[in-house]
Structure 1
Amino acid sequence: MLADPSPLLLDGRLVPAADGRTFPTIDPATEEVLGHAADASAGDLDRAVAAARRAFDGTGWSTDVALRARCLRQLREALRRHADELRELTIREAGAPRFLTFGAQLDAPVEDLGWFADLAESYAWETDLGRAEPMGMPSLRRVVREPAGVVAAVTPWNFPHQINLAKVGPALAAGNTVVLKPAPDTPWCAAALGTLAAEETDLPPGVLNVVTSSDHALGARLVADPRVDLVSFTGSTATGRAVMRAAAEHLKKVFLELGGKSAFLVLDDADLKAACSYAAFAGVTHAGQGCAITTRLLVPRDRYDEAVEITARTLGRLGPGDPHDDSTVCGPVISARQRDRVEVYLELALKEGGRFACGGGRPADRDRGFWIEPTLVTGLAADARAAREEIFGPVLVVLPHDGDDDAVAIANDSPYGLSGAVHGGDPDRARAVARRLRTGTVSVNGGVWYGADVPFGGYKQSGIGREMGVAGFEEYLETKAIAEGTT
């Protein structure tokens, strides 16, 4: 399915970088070089944007709903046919635990393409507002929804298929053309998407372009390009600010899905063992490399020590482990750079007065790969940096609270507002607490909010706009009002 080196997808053709350059992609569990990807230059990016612009302005793609739906279903079928190869690729390149590839790391986002194809066919592209006489002038009015144009999709490495498809799927369904610029850490996942789109679908040339590169500056160049109409970015809050500044030059639409430091609230009537065990599992899944993962565990003060014991014991059974193993929950972090970042925060936690109830560093039995033990930090104040800043590793901080009001205040005292969780014995009480959290998604007593039909995004510095669901689809649309004079 995928050549080594993997190609770019430019204007419907699978091609190497113009200057022939490549860069390696690394297995984070072993540090083995898996292969190489085309290392695009500014010239390659220019070709991609030009192709997307031509395809939007000069073809019928933006108005042909039937073609768009057919192509999305073809892409879904192609991804299904190659699921076994893609599963192995995702485990090796992203370090994703195998069990996750049957959900959000692969299978779920592939199936979501069908939902967006269905939505495009059933969506109310025009709304009749009827006849009116503003200022005495008889008029027939309607509202038309149209694609935004050329979309720059800039994506991270942690859930490559999910995030790539969560942008490409609705953007194409809405009638846009796309230039996808994936993270340098997972180029093969994106190149596989481009390869299947080119070889196994009827997508017209230029509608989807995939540009892999080791140069982070290429993403900034794409965002700033005046031929791009809309930017869809997922990544850190710091980079999101830079994206907004670059997009402001041309006042283009921007969707941002950014960082999080989400809180897991255990109420005093909850089953403490069940809640803390669940929090441990959720907090270190995929080595904690998820923006919506709950990494602040808030527990009743009078049961703090018991909660620490339960959570630490559970974490001790969760890894780290080989991501190929069906039982692994916590695999490696993506790179040496990310491992070093996590270690800096672990050192900071100790300096701030914290202690490790378990973990706290690299596992002694692994001398290759980018590994961090599942770690529980105790003894920190709620305003400590390690308790407030996104670490993006398998690190939970446990904090005491003095009742529902205090727990909500601690949870909301954050620059972020992406996700959260509430566990309590009384469902009505737990729901009431969840309604008070200033976050875009909340899980109550283990409920799963992820789905193609569910809008995902954050409050505050966790982002702007929504991805997935009808709301996410509509991020890729413009609104036009048309009034026709009558006698």
Structure 2
Amino acid sequence: MLGNASAVRGPSPLLLDGRLTAGSGGTFPTVDPATGETLGEAADATAADMDEAIAAARRAFDTSSWPADVPFRVRCLRQLREALRRHADELRELTIAEVGAPRFLTFGGQLDAPVNDLGWFADLAESYAWEHDLGRAEPMGVPSVRRVRREPVGVVGAITPWNFPHQINLAKLGPALAAGNTVVLKPAPDTPWCAAVLGELIAEETDIPPGVVNVVTSSDHRLGAQLAGDPRVDAVSFTGSTATGREVMATAARNLTKVFLELGGKSAFIVLDDADLRSACSYAAFAAATHAGQGCAITTRLLVPRERYDEAVQITARALTKIGVGDPRDDGTVCGPVISARQRARVEGYLELAVREGGSFACGGGRPAGRENGFWIEPTLVTGLTNDCRTAREEIFGPVLVILPHDGDDDAVRLANDSPYGLSGAVHGGDAERARAVARRLRTGTVSVNGGVWYAADVPFGGYKQSGIGREMGVAGFEEYLETKAIAESPS
């Protein structure tokens, strides 16, 4: 399947119990969002295929040496990293074609960074203190030697979205496998090839045993619910919308299955009154337009000092207009297409809502001229709204930035925190300590201060409030995939 994306062979297979197979449900198309043209086909799994995948993962966990053999797991993860590196050029073209990801992003979070992060999780597993000695004590007068062990949770159901497929697929697979779990991966139907290629490389270029990883592509969203609700699954890791996250949590609750969720965001970019306004607003424009705004942690509310609001609007609108849209295959493109006609319609619905709510567009507001094919939206700056408007409160997932005035640091913090979400944020100010003080008051899981980058393998990622439960990445993300066992024995 690997090769030039325009010549990819199809359909892509499922990975079930170590076998690359067409499955039992036929195929479904995957589409290039920049052109609207069908790229090829992917295996369309059925409920029976998902059942087989779960059974295989359960069997591999319960009967193989995988959960206990740390050196073997470490070696396999490094094999997978090297296999992905060997095919980086082909994977880059496939990702640009299927995801509509700008080329420059594939050298970061869309491909290279998550591939390299597998090595970090392998290193962590190799050095991790799997058992901790609490020493001797006499609880209730009984001499005892106590230990605390960390052990894999079991079978993990990983349900992933389409916007950063390699990052999110590997951010679940890497720590889950390093911790000794087996995995059933159910990717979004918009980007099946990115997951299917992962399955192919696991089967063909690593020693990962059958059943340890199963990749189930399908056009049927009900398979995600099947995975979340199966009693053979010990933990569910879901990334996606808050609305779907609620459904996953409710489904998993029937079996009291452990759940961790990385959900939506409407993150605030705060510009303090001592900041370089031009630099800060230009940075905010770049962030909001990157990958057509299709990132849960992208800052999509720009909070600027009220007395400089008009100036900030002009600077930001000029920056967004200059960014524009472009072919994701081009090196200089920042804002490519949105993923599908369905997503474009969703974004356009919010643009119509913004006008009904009393807003207007300082730039953008529709489809760009000359882009009749594919799924395009202009980078857009919405003015004239308040923080209680739906357009300013709800996640749009498009290149749409809402600019709002604030009346000082306390008001900026109030506005930023006045949101059902709490995933990310940014603060720009001339006085670094003042900016840090504002950042500490934000109720979010990640904050960038004056352009600092928090995204890295060793940094935990996740949100407060309706942005999720638990963390991915870092030691905290790794430990989401572990159980804790206390052992006490009588001293000899």
Report the TM-score range of the alignment, normalised by the length of the smaller protein.
over 0.9
Q: Does 1:16 align with 2:22?
A: yes
The match for 2:5 is none
The match for 1:486 is 491
Structure 2 gap segments, 5+ residues each: 3-8
| CA–CA separation in structure 2 for the residues paired with 1:385 and 1:451 | 32
| CA–CA separation in structure 2 for the residues paired with 1:244 and 1:191 | 26
Which one of 374, 384, 392 corresponds to residue 379 of structure 1?
384
Q: Cα offset for 1:486?
A: 2.4
Q: Secondary structure at the match of 1:298?
A: strand
Q: Secondary structure at the match of 2:370?
A: coil
Q: Secondary structure at the match of 2:75?
A: helix
| CA–CA separation in structure 2 for the residues paired with 1:220 and 1:241 | 11
Which whole-Å deviations, capped at 9, do the CAs of 1:273-292 have from their partners, x for residues lacking one? 00000000001100000000
The match for 1:141 is 146
| CA–CA separation in structure 1 for the residues paired with 2:140 and 2:428 | 56
| CA–CA separation in structure 2 for the residues paired with 1:28 and 1:317 | 22
After TM superposition, list the pairs within 5 Å mapping 1:210-225 onto structure 2: 210-225=215-230
Counterpart residue type for residue 404 of structure 2: L
Structure 1 gap segments, 5+ residues each: none
Q: Cα offset for 1:365?
A: 1.1
Q: Secondary structure at the match of 1:366?
A: coil
Which one of 328, 337, 342 corresponds to residue 337 of structure 1?
342
| CA–CA separation in structure 1 for the residues paired with 2:403 and 2:326 | 23
The match for 1:348 is 353
Q: Cα offset for 1:215?
A: 0.3
| CA–CA separation in structure 2 for the residues paired with 1:216 and 1:371 | 25
Which whole-Å deviations, capped at 9, do the CAs of 1:146-176 have from their partners, x for residues lacking one? 0000000000000000000000000000000
Q: Secondary structure at the match of 2:129?
A: coil
| CA–CA separation in structure 1 for the residues paired with 2:86 and 2:260 | 31
Which one of 304, 315, 328 corresponds to residue 309 of structure 2?
304
Counterpart residue type for residue 311 of structure 1: T
Which one of 434, 440, 447 corresponds to residue 435 of structure 1?
440
Which whole-Å deviations, capped at 9, do the CAs of 1:23-60 have from their partners, x for residues lacking one? 00000000111000000000000110000000000000
Counterpart residue type for residue 432 of structure 2: P
Counterpart residue type for residue 62 of structure 1: P
Which whole-Å deviations, capped at 9, do the CAs of 1:442-473 have from their partners, x for residues lacking one? 00000000000000000000000000000000
Q: Secondary structure at the match of 1:61?
A: coil
| CA–CA separation in structure 2 for the residues paired with 1:486 and 1:401 | 64
The match for 1:291 is 296
After TM superposition, list the pairs within 5 Å mapping 1:7-46 onto structure 2: 7-19=13-25, 21-46=26-51
Which whole-Å deviations, capped at 9, do the CAs of 1:231-254 have from their partners, x for residues lacking one? 000000000000110010011110
Could you state the TM-score of these two structures normalised by the residue count of structure 2? 0.98
| CA–CA separation in structure 2 for the residues paired with 1:177 and 1:428 | 45
The match for 1:445 is 450
Q: Cα offset for 1:18?
A: 2.0
| CA–CA separation in structure 2 for the residues paired with 1:342 and 1:306 | 26
Q: Does 1:4 align with 2:10?
A: yes
Q: Does 1:270 align with 2:245?
A: no
| CA–CA separation in structure 2 for the residues paired with 1:70 and 1:374 | 44
The match for 2:406 is 401
| CA–CA separation in structure 2 for the residues paired with 1:364 and 1:89 | 26
The match for 2:211 is 206
The match for 1:416 is 421
Q: Cα offset for 1:399?
A: 0.0
| CA–CA separation in structure 2 for the residues paired with 1:452 and 1:486 | 41
Could you state the TM-score of these two structures normalised by the residue count of structure 1? 0.99
Q: Cα offset for 1:382?
A: 1.0
Size of the alignment, in residue pairs?
A: 486
| CA–CA separation in structure 2 for the residues paired with 1:137 and 1:17 | 57
The match for 2:183 is 178
| CA–CA separation in structure 1 for the residues paired with 2:246 and 2:456 | 27
| CA–CA separation in structure 2 for the residues paired with 1:252 and 1:127 | 26
| CA–CA separation in structure 2 for the residues paired with 1:45 and 1:244 | 19
The match for 1:128 is 133
| CA–CA separation in structure 2 for the residues paired with 1:17 and 1:482 | 44
| CA–CA separation in structure 1 for the residues paired with 2:320 and 2:102 | 16
Counterpart residue type for residue 336 of structure 1: A
Q: Does 1:370 align with 2:375?
A: yes
Q: Secondary structure at the match of 1:360?
A: coil
Which one of 377, 391, 395 corresponds to residue 390 of structure 1?
395
Q: Cα offset for 1:319?
A: 1.8
Which one of 73, 76, 79 corresponds to residue 74 of structure 1?
79
| CA–CA separation in structure 1 for the residues paired with 2:366 and 2:202 | 42
| CA–CA separation in structure 1 for the residues paired with 2:42 and 2:24 | 13
| CA–CA separation in structure 1 for the residues paired with 2:196 and 2:421 | 32
Which whole-Å deviations, capped at 9, do the CAs of 1:59-95 have from their partners, x for residues lacking one? 0000000010000000000000000000000000000
| CA–CA separation in structure 1 for the residues paired with 2:38 and 2:137 | 67
| CA–CA separation in structure 1 for the residues paired with 2:322 and 2:230 | 48
Which whole-Å deviations, capped at 9, do the CAs of 1:403-424 have from their partners, x for residues lacking one? 0000000000000000000000
Q: Cα offset for 1:269?
A: 0.1
Which whole-Å deviations, capped at 9, do the CAs of 1:395-441 have from their partners, x for residues lacking one? 00000000000000000000000000000000000000000000000
The match for 2:6 is none
Q: Deviating runs (4+, > 3 A) in structure 1?
A: none
Counterpart residue type for residue 365 of structure 1: G
Counterpart residue type for residue 372 of structure 2: D
Which whole-Å deviations, capped at 9, do the CAs of 1:307-364 have from their partners, x for residues lacking one? 0000000000112110001000000000000000000000000000000000000012
Q: Cα offset for 1:485?
A: 1.2
The match for 1:322 is 327
| CA–CA separation in structure 1 for the residues paired with 2:296 and 2:361 | 23
The match for 2:197 is 192
Q: Secondary structure at the match of 2:90?
A: helix
Counterpart residue type for residue 215 of structure 1: D
